[in-house]
Structure 1
Amino acid sequence: VKNILLIEPPFFRLYKETYSLVKFPLSLGYLAGAILTFKKDWNVKVINADFSPEDDLIDYNHLTGVGFNNYLKNLKDINHVAWDGIKEAIEEYSPKVIGVTAKSQNFAAARMIAKISKQLNPDCLVVFGGPHASMAKEQVLKDDENIDFSVVGEGEETIVDILKYADGKIKKDNIPGIIHREKGKIVINEKRTLMFDLEKFPFILDVAKKTLIDYEKYPIAAFRYLFALRGCPYNCSFCGSREVWTRKVRFRSVDNVIAEIKDLYENGINYVHFDDDTFGIQKSWIRELCIKLMKECPNINFSCESHCKVINDEIIGLMKSAGCKSIQIGVESGNDWMLKKLRKGINKQDVLDTCKIIKKHKIHLQTFFIVGFPDETMETLNDTIKFMFKIPVDTIVYSIFTPYYGTELFKDCEEKGIIPDDFDVSLYNHQSPENYFCPNIPKDIFIKKIRKLENKIDRINNARRIKTLFTEYGLAKVRERGIIKSAKRLCEIIFT
């Protein structure tokens, strides 16, 4: 039997064992679906090493304090429990190919998986993909000799070709979209063309049932995520999404999306989340989806992430009628000069108008903010903090700027000498206490200010979570989680 093992690295579990990514990773799900469809002579298994059946509420203070110290220690401790499932799966399945998806923040953990893989199975082919591989490109292979291939861009067709290579049917030079080694040199193959048929793979839940290790331990809500489109037309300077999906937006048909939602509903899921970068980017598509949701899926609720530029009263009213309970909006900064520098394409008034529309329709609202950009000043930072609490939102999602390989702001940080030549990605993520990339503000003042900000955000978010329980969104989440788990979560909020 020819086996391939696809792995989501641990990250939150390295901070605290009971922190968890309660989700079937969509990227691995689509890869597994491609293998099930086009390489049926291979057996594929997926393991989410960041999943724990216990699911504690994550708080910022732990991530930036004791949790970060745990993370650094456990990252290097091969005997930590987060690595056990990976080792067991490799020993049980003896995979010929091991695929690892990596973001920049979990790339160090992904490298540990490559090391474990080669220790337990020296002849296996280790393949890296995901956002970090697409953004860092050849640097991935330079960083680690245990990595054999790195995949740039979409991976479904590429993984099928890699398995053909493992079968001895094609040469690696003929696989578009990979970076590999040839006689000690790193070779970058030609780019792979974009996929425009996004409907040729099985639905994600069906894939999970066939491939996900410990499937039965997951709550059904872990499978409520889906993609309706790929690509983001915007060009934010801090974001690397376009390196994976490009700025060309490609859609699944509304009928295909509705069919998957019906499949989820038949399996006990009545709340879905669209994981698209910018949901509703095409108004005619979102109108058609909402009309069909109202007609064919009247008992489904959903949430999404959108952009201020695509929101208006008509669209939000339609989404509300179709079951939309929560919307996430990327604001990033509360200073118009900074927003322009980031090429967000919006200003503060756009944000206020958008939030007003969303709250008018009584939809739960989350806003994303980032502090500590390279050009951040005390004035822009204070403006952002003030704006965070001015907007009428239900949840504030806060991050510290992290420069990602391949983005314009990473290059900007390099050119300004803000980051060292031996930049260690394991030290930096959106809640890392090591993050400091804004030389216009003295480091001690910046750190003190954001620690105070984190405490305030935790307090406000917890208070708003309690209030939210008595809204349509809160009741929808209670139905999704169940009364016992919802009661446990409420106790965590009140007593932590």
Structure 2
Amino acid sequence: MRVTFIQPYYRNVWENIGLGYIIAYCKQQFQGELDVKFYQGNFDSDAEIVRGGIDSDIVAFSATSPCFPPAVRFAAAIKAENPKVKTVVGGWHVTALQEKALNEYIDQIVVGEGEQAMLEILQGRDDRIVHGTALPFPDLPWPDREAIKNHRTVDLCETMNGKRTTSFQANRVCPTSCVFCAEKTMTGKFNRRLNPIRSRSVEDVCAEISSVVEKYDLTYFKFVDATFDISPDYVIDFCREKIDHGIETEWECLIHASFCTEEMFYWLKESNCNQINVGCESGSPRILKQIKKGTKVETIENVFRWARNYGINRRAFFILGMPDEDRDDLHMTEELIDRIEPEVVGFTILCPYPGSQLYDHEKYRDQDWEQTDEYSNDFWRNNAFTNQELKDWQAYFTDKYSDKLCERQDETTFERLNV
């Protein structure tokens, strides 16, 4: 069977670890021969992608909301050349919208985690909506990095910032319930009994890291987990295992401020952690409570102080335009940034993606998601600011903290306006 996997173009380039897991699982479980191809819009031209899909039995797309429109265009172009090709789309967008995402060019959609669902499609299942199964994450094979051409993103990172970098995943299911996030759309809402966090052993994680570091000559790696610090003990155990494994490579992770302890930062430093990334979101206690962030301003300050004391770089993410956020709240955000003094900072205008609690289908059903990215959009407004006023605030923050901007945001030109 000939199967082509496609990751449409997106402004921010990373390897598709999710497809790597799906391909590895299907190769392991499928009873028959699989001829797998992979294309990524950041490296392959539209013409190459269409040509690559035409002679396939199945073409499967991985699509977030910004990637869904080009996925549909590719599906239409491929079917125009070969109507017999079965087209499948998985990812956050179709998982959130389900039947609302179906159209004449998409034969099937995968809802939720894709490993078992994709295997069943390869085995002949033809339901238009195929619900995924939450498999035990520790039992899955490592992602097939050769299939997803991981070397291309590693080489690109080296070209862009001098570090040969790739990503790993340690857990599935995020324990938080932030209203702006669609993470739980894919893996389900956390529940200690019914949907607990599914964690790989730190031994298995380090074994994979060691193998990939050697294969791709990595000088840096990061975790894609929405919350790597699911518990301080897990982080400490990982750090110790990394040291015992002799893995000296620098690394970074995304952490939740409320799950940290000072001891954790000692071990992060000992294991050569270069940077922590923290979704602070706001400096306003009122807004943090409204968005169900599950943390407090003083907790954020503690985390940034601990990391600084141990010499770990700190990256802070902030979202502008929470539903009731006003001028006073934004000034509190500014004051928090000045107190914690992060080495790197990024400012995003809130986007109500499908799957988040802020999404309203009747309001946004015709939205062109392709025109949004992780930093900006042209349509969101809250109860205090128009979209342009939010962009003005974003310009104000990026101008004030221009020496701290993360790489992607630093490349973006913002109109400088006074607010």
Q: TM-score range by the shorter chain?
A: 0.7 to 0.9
* TM-superposition CA deviations, 1:77-111 (whole Å, max 9, x none): xxxxx4233124225xx111111111112222222
Equivalents in 2 of 1:240, 1:292: separation in Å? 31
The alignment-based identity, stated in percent, is 24
Give the counterpart letter for 2:174 in structure 1. Answer: C
Residues 295 and 126 of structure 1: CA distance in aligned 2, closer, same or farther (over 3 Å): same
CA apart distance, 1:50 = 2.0
| 1:341 aligns to 2:277 (yes or no) | no
In structure 2, C-alpha distance between the alignment counterparts of 1:157 and 1:315, rounded to whole Å: 36
| Deviation (angstroms), 1:386 | 3.7
Deviations 1:342-384 (A, max 9, x none): 0001121111111111111111111111101222222223322
Shift of 1:213: 5.5
| Match of residue 325 from structure 2 | 376
SS at match of 2:298: helix
Instruction: Provide the residue aligned with 1:148 in structure 2.
Output: 107
Pair 1:130 & 2:91 matched:
yes
**Which residue among 19, 22, 42 is the counterpart of 1:28?**
19
SS in 2 for 1:225: strand
Decide whether the 8 Å contact of 2:379 with 2:387 is kept in 1.
Answer: no
Separation in structure 1 between the aligned mates of residue 108 and residue 152 of structure 2, nearest angstrom = 32
| TM-score between the two structures when normalised by the length of structure 1 | 0.74
1:460 corresponding residue in structure 2: 403
Q: Normalising by structure 2, report the TM-score.
A: 0.87
Structure 2, gaps ≥5 residues long: 158-163, 191-195, 413-419
Q: Supply the distance in 1 between the matched residues of 2:315 and 2:267 (Cα, whole angstroms).
A: 19
The counterpart of 1:249, out of the listed 197, 207, 223, is: 197
Alignment correspondent of 2:116: 157
Output one character per residue of 1:187-215: Cα deviation in whole Å (capped at 9) or x when no partner: x56x54421143331x33xx222x24695
Mark the CA change 1:128 to 1:213 in structure 2 (over 3 Å): closer, same or farther: same
Amino acid corresponding to residue 30 of structure 1 in structure 2: Y
Task: Name the residue aligned to 1:102.
Answer: 63
2:209 matched to 1:261? yes
Query: 1:172 is matched with which residue?
Result: 126
Aligned partners of 1:424 and 1:401: how far apart in 2?
A: 16
* 2:2 counterpart of 1:43: no
Secondary structure of the residue that 2:393 maps to in structure 1? Answer: helix
After TM superposition, give the deviation of residue 426 of structure 1 in Å.
2.9
Aligned partners of 2:117 and 2:133 also within 8 Å: no
Report if the CA contact (8 A) 1:364-1:393 is conserved: yes
| Farther-moved stretch of structure 1 (233-242 vs 112-121) | 112-121
Counterpart amino acid of residue 445 in structure 1 = E
Q: Is residue 89 of structure 1 aligned with residue 52 of structure 2?
A: yes
Structure 1 residue ranges without an equivalent (≥5): 13-19, 53-81, 166-170, 174-179, 181-187, 466-488
Which residue number in structure 2 is paired with residue 439 of structure 1? Answer: 383
Shift of 1:155: 0.3
Q: How many aligned residue pairs are there?
A: 396
Q: Among residues 373, 391, 394, which one is paired with 1:429 in the alignment? A: 373
Cα distance between partner residues in 1 of 2:149 and 2:241: 34
Distance 1:35 1:443 in 2: 44
The more displaced of 396-405 and 276-285 is 276-285
Q: Cα distance, 1:216 vs. partner?
A: 6.3
Contact 1:231 1:245 in 2 (8 A): yes
Q: CA 1:198–1:85 in structure 2 vs 1: closer, same or farther (change >3 Å)? A: farther
With 318-327 and 439-448 compared, the bigger mean Cα shift is at 439-448
Root-mean-square deviation (CA, aligned residues, Å) is: 2.6
The one-letter code matched in structure 1 to 2:10 is F
Q: How does 1:445-484 map to 2 (within 5 A)?
A: 445-457=389-401, 459-461=402-404
CA deviation digits over 1:24-60, x for unaligned, max 9? 21011111111221225111122121238xxxxxxxx
Specify which of 222, 226, 230 is matched with residue 168 of structure 2: 226
Any conservation in 2 of the 1:3–1:97 contact (CA below 8 Å)? yes
CA distance in 1, matches of 2:267, 2:341: 21
Name 2:221's counterpart in structure 1.
Answer: 272
Shift in CA distance, 44/399, structure 1 to aligned 2, threshold 3 Å: same
Contact (CA 8 Å) 1:102, 1:130: kept in 2 or not? yes
Q: How far, CA to CA, are the matches of 1:435 and 1:385 in structure 2?
A: 24
Structure 1: which amino acid aligns with 2:23? Answer: A
Q: Which amino acid aligns with 1:229?
A: N
Q: Say whether the 8 Å CA contact 2:3–2:56 is kept in structure 1.
A: yes
Letter in 2 for 1:153: G
**1:456/1:84 Cα in 2 relative to 1: closer, same or farther (>3 Å)?**
farther
Flag the structure with higher helix content. 1
2:104 alignment partner, SS class? coil
Q: 1:284 to 1:111 in 2, by over 3 A?
A: same
1:367 to 312, 316, 321: 316
Q: 1:304 to 1:217 in 2, by over 3 A?
A: closer
Amino acid of the structure 2 residue aligned with 1:363:
I
Deviation for aligned residue 1:300: 2.4
Alignment partner, residue 3 of structure 1: 2
Runs of 4+ in structure 1 over 6 Å off: none
Question: Contact 1:280/1:306 (CA < 8 Å) preserved in 2?
Answer: yes
Structure 2 residue matching 1:105: 3-state secondary structure: coil
Cα displacement (A) at 1:223? 6.2
CA contact (8 A) 2:350 2:376 kept: no
| Kept after mapping to 1: 8 A contact 2:110/2:132 | no
1:415-471 residue CA offsets vs partner (Å, 9 max, x unmatched): xxxx455333234333335133213224553333333333444x2226x98xxxxxx
